[in-house]
Amino acid sequence: MASHRKSRTPGPRVAGIRTPALATAALTSVALLSQTANAVPTDDDKPSLEEVERKVDDLYRQAESATEKYNAAKERTAKQRKRVDTLLDDVAKRTQRLNEAREELGSFAAAQYRTGAGIPDTATFLLADSPQDIFDQRQLMDRMTGRQKEAVDDYVTQQSETMRTRQEATKSLETLTESQGDLKTAKATVQRKLTDARELMAKLTAEEKARLAAIEKEKREEAARKAAELARQQQAQREAAQQDSGAGTQDPSGSGSSGSSGSTTAPPADASYATKAEKALAFARAQIGKPYVWGATGPDSYDCSGLTQGAWKSAGVTLPRTTYDQVDAGTTVPVSQAQPGDLVFFYDDVTHVGIYIGNGKMIHAPKPGTYVREESIFYDGESSIHSVVRPA
C-alpha cells in the first residue's frame, strides 16, 4: 500500500550528507564572512615602494613649486605694503596742506565779513563740492584780489591731489589684500604637501625604508657617473679650445673647484665673471650643512632660490627672489658649456635651482628635511634639467 507520508524536500548536502536549515544558515554566514575578508585590503593592495617613492618625490616637488609661489607672493606683498605706507603718508601730508589752504581761505572770509564785503563769494569757495564748481564761478574770480586767487588756486590744487592720492591708496590697499590672500594660500599649500609626504614616509616599515635608501643610493651613483661623464666632456672641450687658440693659459673658470686638479683653457668672453663666480661659490660653500627651510633666505637656513640669490649677492650681483625670475636673469648656455657660478634650473615648471661648481656638480638646498649640500646636477635624472643660465 502506498505510503501517505509527505515527502521531504531534500536540503543542501555537504560531502554527500544532507544538512539541516541551521547548517545552511551557518554556511551562508561563512560565505559572507569569506567575501568580507576578501574585501579587506591585503599586502597586495599596498602601493609598491617605487610608487611610494614617486608619490613622495612628487609631493616634495609640489611643495617646492608652492614655495616659489609663496616667495613671489611674499615679495609682492612686501612691495605693496611699502607702497601703501608711502601713499598713506602722502595722504596725511596732503591733507595737512589742504587744511592749511582752507584756513587761508577762511581768513579771507573773516576779513571780508569784518568789512562787509564779499562774504557770500568766499564762503562759496569754502562750501564748493568739487574743484570744477570753483572754476565755474568766473564772476567771483574777477572780483578777487591777486592774493585771494592764489589762495583759491592752492586750495583747488591741494584738494585735487589729495583726492587722487586717496584713490590710489585705496586701490593699493585692495591689491595688498589680494597679495596677502595669495601668500596665505601658498603657505597652506606648502604645509599640506609636506604633511602628506611625511605621513607617507611614516607608514613605511624599517625594511621598506632600508630598501628605499638602497634605491636612493643607486640613483646617486648613477648621477655621479653622469657628472663624471660631463666633466670628461668639458675637459675635452677645454683641451680642444686650447689647441685651437695655441695658448695654454690657466683655466679662469675654475672648473676644478670641486676638488680636482686645475685645467687650462682660453679665458671666457667676460673675464670678470670668473672673479664674481668665485665669490658666489665661496658663499655657497660656507652654507653647506645648513637646513633647507622653505621661504628662507639665510643666514641660518635657505630654500633653493634663497641660496642662489644670497650667493650672487655676495658677489655684487642682485638676482630676483624666485626661480621663475632667476631663470631670465642672464644668458642661457648649453649644459656641456656650464661654468662654475652658473645657475642650473630643474623641471618643466622651473621650480628648483642650484649653483654649478664644475665637474658636473652643484651646491643646492634640495628639499625639506635635507641640508645644503654638494651634489651631481643629474641627481634627479638628466631629463630633469631645464636649463643653465649665466647671471648677468
Distance CA 211, CA 149 (A): 88
Are 377 and 361 in contact by the 8 Å Cβ rule? The answer is yes
SS3 17: strand
All three cell numbers of 199: 605621513
Burial code (b: 16+ CB inside 10 Å, e: under 16) for 110-144 equals eebeeeeebeebbeebeebeebeebeebeebbeeb
Q: Which helix (H) or strand (E) holds 158?
A: helix 146-202
SS3 357: strand
Read off the DSSP letter of residue 365: -
Instruction: Classify residue 94 by burial, with Cβ atoms within 10 Å: 0-12, 13-18, 19+.
Output: buried
Distance CA 48, CA 27 (A): 36
* Three-class HEC string of 21-72: HHHHHHHHHHHHHHHHHHHCCCHHHCCCHHHHHHHHHHHHHHHHHHHHHHHH
- Residues 6 or more apart whose CB falls under 8 angstroms from that of 115 comprise none
Distance CA 298, CA 382 (A): 29
Distance CA 191, CA 200 (A): 14
Are 353 and 309 in contact by the 8 Å Cβ rule? The answer is no
Catalytic residue list: 304, 352, 364
